[in-house]
Amino acid sequence: MRRVTIKDIAKIAGVSYATVSRALSGSPEISEETRIRIVEICRREGYRANTLARSLICNKTNVIGLIIPEVTNPYYAEIAFGIERSARERGYNVMLCNSGYEDAHVDELFDFLVGHQVDGIILANSRNEACDWASRYLRTIPTVLLGDAVTGGTPEADRLGTVSIDNRAGGRMGTEYLQRLGHTEILYAGVRPNSITHQLRAQGYRDAMEHAGLCAKIAENPGGSSSIEHGYELGKQLFAQTRDYTAIFAATDTLALGLMQAAEECGVSIPGELSLLGFDNISYSALPRITLSTIDQRKALLADTAVRILLDTIAQPEQQQYHKCLVPPTLIERHSCRAR
């Protein structure tokens, strides 16, 4: 199954292969007549230029690498989709890699992508360490992080292009929404203390509570991740005790879903007895029967911004643009919150 090359075409057309190259690259220095003839031959023979060979010469692949934890995570699926879309619009293709949740894999994937000569890399990951992982390769390849910037790390890390949702603003926005609904006793649930993302969201919550002269109540997530399961466990705990709040603002949608299930099993009705607000707006939250009110991460916008910054950096690598981009979130009202 030998693929047909430019030489084959040249031989058939009875021209040199430089001519074939010109015919296909849209060069002006060729007669319209021969161009048409050659293009037709290429079509007939099913010839596709070998992108590898071309990239080797041009020192440019027009491919960017994207590293996410897992496509099956609906949040990252949307991010991946948005990034592919924006990249394609700008003439780039993306090479998608799932890193799982381990450090080592991210390193391997960077190596893999660099080896494949991608023009740049987007690392989408909300762990604190992501910032360091990405900046480790900053000298080697243009990179942008889609996730929270961690300031005060290595000096390298400060130069890393970064785009994320404004988590603090989101925390504030959600809390204020609940307050507008008449809630004064609001529990912020599911914080993972060592996650910057969670810290920011919780801080936004505290801002809003303080500003309203209300008392902040925070329930941490003892589990290691913000999964539905851990939300469920947290819920079981919470709903076994008497409640001194009328609304829960969950740190993530997945956590909220777990809480929802626990609530159902413990006979506390949402939004009847208890309002529940999420954060992220993953696709799950819009589903019938769930209809979780939440803070939207605007993944399409995040993705587009990340692509734009990356391509800028690729175009002008020296200009080490100091980009820390914060995208404002948005409130999505569905049916899990109620005025009291």
Binding site for its own copies (CB under 8 A): 1, 3, 46, 48-53, 55-56, 61, 70-72, 74, 77-78, 80-81, 84, 93, 95-96, 98, 111-112, 114-117, 139-142, 228, 232, 257-258, 260-261, 264, 283-284, 287-290, 317
Q: Does 140 bind DNA (CB under 7 A)?
A: no
E-state strands within the chain: 63-68, 93-98, 120-124, 143-146, 161-165, 186-191, 217-220, 247-250, 275-280, 293-296, 324-327, 330-332
Q: Is 123 in the site for DNA (CB under 7 A)?
A: no
Strands of 192-340 (E only): list them: 217-220, 247-250, 275-280, 293-296, 324-327, 330-332
The answer to whether residue 46 forms part of the interface with DNA (CB under 7 A) is no
Q: Which of residues 73-92 bind DNA (CB under 7 A)?
A: none
Write the binding mask 15 to 34 for DNA: x where contact by CB under 7 A, - elsewhere.
Answer: xxxxx-xx-xx--xxxxxxx
CB 66 within 8 A of CB 97: yes
The least CB distance from residue 184 to its own copies, in Å, is: 28
Nearer to its own copies, 195 or 313 (CB): 313
The partner in contact with residue 179, picked from DNA, its own copies, none with C-beta cut-offs of 5 to 8 angstroms by kind, is none
Q: In this structure, how many other beta carbons lie within 10 angstroms of the beta carbon of residue 154?
A: 14
The residue type at 147: G
Burial of 165 (0-12, 13-18, 19+ CB in 10 A): buried
CB 4 to DNA: min, Å: 8
Residue 321 touches which member of its own copies, DNA, none, C-beta under 5-8 Å by kind: none
Residue with tokens 């000096």: 155
Question: Which residue lies nearer to DNA by CB, 14 or 224?
Answer: 14
Of the candidate spans 45-53, 65-73, 169-177, 197-205, the one that interacts with DNA by CB under 7 A turns out to be 45-53
Least CB distance to its own copies at residue 209 (A): 28
* Structure-block tokens of residue 314: 């690729």
d(CA 232, CA 262): 5
Q: DSSP character for 3?
A: P
Residue whose CB is less far from DNA, 18 or 287:
18
Q: Residue 258's binding partner, choosing from DNA, its own copies, none, with beta-carbon cut-off 5 to 8 A by kind?
A: its own copies
* Contacting DNA within 300-339 (CB under 7 A): none
DSSP 3-state of 170: helix
**Residues within window 145-184 making contact with DNA, judged by CB under 7 A:** none
Torsion sign, CA atoms 251, 256, 258, 259: positive
- Give the interface with DNA as residue ranges (CB under 7 A): 3, 5-7, 14-19, 21-22, 24-25, 28-34, 49-50, 53-54, 56-59
